[in-house]
Structure 1
Amino acid sequence: MGAAEPTSSLQQLYEDPATPVASGPDRARRQAAILARALGPTPSTVLDIGCGDGSAAATAAQELPRHRLVGVDWSQDALRRASARLTAVRGELSAPGLPFATGSADAVLFSEVIEHLVDPDAALDELHRVLRPDGHLLLSTPNLAAWYNRALLLTGTQPVFSEVSLRGIHGRPGSQVVGHLRLFTARALRSMLPAAGFRVVRITGAPYHDVPRPLRPLDRAACHVPSLASILLVHARAVPRRDGAPRREPPGEEGS
């Protein structure tokens, strides 16, 4: 997490050391395994956008020993922690953009980031720009339509993962504010990603580490039906955009 646009209140939240900057280890392993199968043995450049403390990239590195992983975040606190695990650079999904050349990445890990963004459309445009044609996007995000959220809404309770305030928890289970601005369903992602120039290869599910222990077997079972799973894992590939929109070239690019 942590690559959201730096509005003042969000920046304060993400620079707070108490704010979580890592996704669950189970989903990180699942993403890494999907990416390893997709890339094969050919050495590739993988960007972990919104790398947080670098734990997800460290997990991915075990599955991707031949590949170059670079972490990107705009939170200085997250970068300080990530730099102990991998090469990490500061970058933003909003202007001036990521410090990488157009088409320079073979794959992008985008774990638990899109739900924090003010403008996810612009972010997907920037990811599309840095990916080579047919490059891989591995995106994960909480599922608004998770099995327990459906039950909570029937009782008039605010769904898990949703937040109405950056100052406290109101009307939902949980005890920590993490800065979620948008939530997605599998159906929404299947529509939104193609509109941004990505072909969805597959959507799978992953469990959520904060589900109460007695309910964890049910949460794992829900992963077999992605539309009900706690976490959505999406594998997509970059394709030429129909709108022909120009791609900006940010200053100070890294790579070629």
Structure 2
Amino acid sequence: MKIVDLFELVRLSRRLQKRPCPICRSEAGRPLLRYDRYLLPSNIKECERCGLIYCANMLSPPELERFYTSLYSALMDFKATEAQIATYQSVARERVTKISARLGHLDQLLEIGAGYGYFLAAARQAGARHLYGIEPSTSGVRHAQTSLHLGDQIVEAPFLEASPPPFAPQVTVLFHVLEHLVDPGAALDRLAAWIPEGASLVIEVPDTAADWSSMGLINFHISHASYFRAETLTDLLHRHGFAPFEVEREADGIYPGNLRVYARRDSSFSEIRPFLAPPSLASHVADLVKPWSLKNGYPRAVLRLLRHLARG
């Protein structure tokens, strides 16, 4: 991270725009946290109508796209060190093993937000022949194409602007992608147009109902536009043509409190349903977020930024 990146991060606060709940469009929400870990006024709320926790102040879609193609990589600090690569490979192999155990041999596989390509590479090693990944990051695609030899099996594009895969995907995966999207419903609608009836969808997101006390405030940042729990994610899937059939919760996955939902494409689930908010998580969030904690509050957030800057 360079000093110019830090200045750009500070300037983001002037570009934030108010928005309603991205799921039900209600503006009635319980305030949970005004500032995120980057000290941006993201205004984290819990929707009183559907229960989703979301950033009520967010970048516009074009601004968010620029954020992900430039500043986000600097903040995440992927350096392709041996330790980082080993972690990515281990997580990818574990995901292939777990998903294969539920769905059988993986093939005709589509990954949205393919990152640096490690899941696709692990699936290829496990015998998958037809692979396709979509990833908006130039550095991620370059790494996947050159270091992992994925070639034209991964393309650089924002998901909502990408072309369909060259085959009908039987398994589609999104690992920690949906929470980054300004309009997750629109993303699921686009997937529903690509995925044939009966084909599988696997989504991982951070589980807001879990114990992520080790992260505290660090859990909340502008690149997470929405914060899901099992109830809100499964309800969203029902509304956009998918039938969830299994929910897995991991205390120590890639994220403290990892939620994985398996669903099948089922157009009969796209009918309009009344919104029924699950019990509020406001007290749960308040218990886990200690904003001024030296361990996981604003002081730690500032130190993280300074460390990124020093390594830049």
Say whether the fold is shared (TM-score over 0.5): yes
Among 34, 47, 68, the residue aligned to 1:10: 68
1:230 aligns with 2:257: yes
29-38 vs 85-94, greater mean Cα deviation: 29-38
Superposed displacement of residue 191, structure 1: 1.1
Amino acid at match of 2:97: A
Superposed displacement of residue 114, structure 1: 0.8
Q: Would the aligned equivalents of 2:108 and 2:128 in 1 still touch at CA under 8 Å?
A: no
The within-5 A match list for 1:26-175 is: 28-41=92-105, 44-63=107-126, 65-83=127-145, 84-85=147-148, 86=150, 87-94=153-160, 96-100=161-165, 104-149=168-213, 158=217, 160-163=218-221, 165=222
Q: Which string of whole-angstrom CA distances, capped at 9 and with x for unpartnered residues, describes residues 70-97 of structure 1?
A: 2211111110011132221123322x34
- The whole-number CA distance in structure 2 between the counterparts of 1:66 and 1:209 is 23
- The whole-number CA distance in structure 1 between the counterparts of 2:177 and 2:142 is 18
- The whole-number CA distance in structure 2 between the counterparts of 1:113 and 1:81 is 19
Q: Which string of whole-angstrom CA distances, capped at 9 and with x for unpartnered residues, describes residues 101-128 of structure 1?
A: 6x71111111111111111111111122
Among 240, 251, 259, the residue aligned to 1:196: 240
Q: Would the aligned equivalents of 1:202 and 1:235 in 2 still touch at CA under 8 Å?
A: yes
- The whole-number CA distance in structure 1 between the counterparts of 2:76 and 2:128 is 34
Q: Would the aligned equivalents of 1:31 and 1:138 in 2 still touch at CA under 8 Å?
A: no
From the two aligned structures, give the one with the greater helix fraction.
2
Amino acid at match of 2:92: A
Relative distance call for 1:68 and 1:185 in structure 2 (3 A) is same
Relative distance call for 1:24 and 1:191 in structure 2 (3 A) is farther
Q: Would the aligned equivalents of 1:47 and 1:105 in 2 still touch at CA under 8 Å?
A: yes
Counting aligned pairs with the same residue, the percent is 25
Amino acid at match of 1:73: E
- Which structure 1 residue ranges, 5 or more long, are not aligned? 166-178, 211-228, 245-256
TM, length-normalised to structure 1: 0.66
- The whole-number CA distance in structure 2 between the counterparts of 1:99 and 1:19 is 30
Q: Would the aligned equivalents of 1:93 and 1:126 in 2 still touch at CA under 8 Å?
A: no
Instruction: Point out the structure with max Rg over C-alpha.
Output: 2
Amino acid at match of 2:165: F
- The whole-number CA distance in structure 2 between the counterparts of 1:232 and 1:126 is 22
Relative distance call for 1:66 and 1:10 in structure 2 (3 A) is closer
RMSD: 3.2
1:205 aligns with 2:249: yes
State the match for 2:19 in structure 1: none
- The whole-number CA distance in structure 1 between the counterparts of 2:254 and 2:99 is 22
Superposed displacement of residue 58, structure 1: 2.1
- Which structure 2 residue ranges, 5 or more long, are not aligned? 1-60, 80-84, 272-312
Relative distance call for 1:187 and 1:26 in structure 2 (3 A) is farther
Relative distance call for 1:16 and 1:30 in structure 2 (3 A) is same
| Matched position secondary structure for 2:191 | helix
- The whole-number CA distance in structure 2 between the counterparts of 1:54 and 1:105 is 17
Relative distance call for 1:61 and 1:234 in structure 2 (3 A) is farther
